[in-house]
Structure 1
Amino acid sequence: MAATATSPTPAALGALTTYDAHPQAKAASRLDAAAVDFEAVFLTQMMQSMFSGLGDDGPLGGGPGTDAYRSMLADQYGRSVASAGGVGLADHVRSELLSLQKGS
């Protein structure tokens, strides 16, 4: 039986020719993500401090799972605020990380 030549599918061609044309862009997006993640963690800690004085009042008040659910709620609040632009901390973290990368 003779071997027949088949042309690769466009998806296969894309997989074969996939390479990172802009490594600086990829590094910048990772740097941006790290800065936003840092701000989210900071905001989460602030939210948890705000919830600590509520006792059984406020969101998710009372019950055996209150502390666990409040920490998850604070985490979501922190992530939401950071992803929506935050309080400006990510911009400062980003610029500091860039200056550290440049060695200045």
Structure 2
Amino acid sequence: MSILDPLQFPAGPDDRVSFHRTELAPILSLYGRMVAAGEWRDYGISALRDMAVVSVFRRTAENPIYRIEKRPKLRLKQGQYAVVGMDGQTLKRGNDLTAVLRVLERKLIRSVD
């Protein structure tokens, strides 16, 4: 009997959904700008059976403040990319990753007094 749940951990790397390099580039670019602004400090990447997730943290020991999710099964319905807030609310969903990430870029824009 195995301790690992087969539903949680796929049998092989081919069963997992992951972000492609072209998808990670805009995510990590946004991450770098938010780190420079002092808003974010850490991130984590998960590749699961039905989705891939980039979790963003304000502090390392906290829960993620945002999750950027990729669910390929939803690409023909609501859109495969989503930004989910800390409370589980979907902030933006669509098939264009850069358009979905704009909801987080708005947090970079601040008024100057």
Higher relative contact order (CA 8 A, sep 6+): 1
Q: Highest Rg: 1 or 2?
A: 1
Give the structure-2-normalised TM-score: 0.24
Task: State the TM-score, normalized to the length of structure 1.
Answer: 0.25
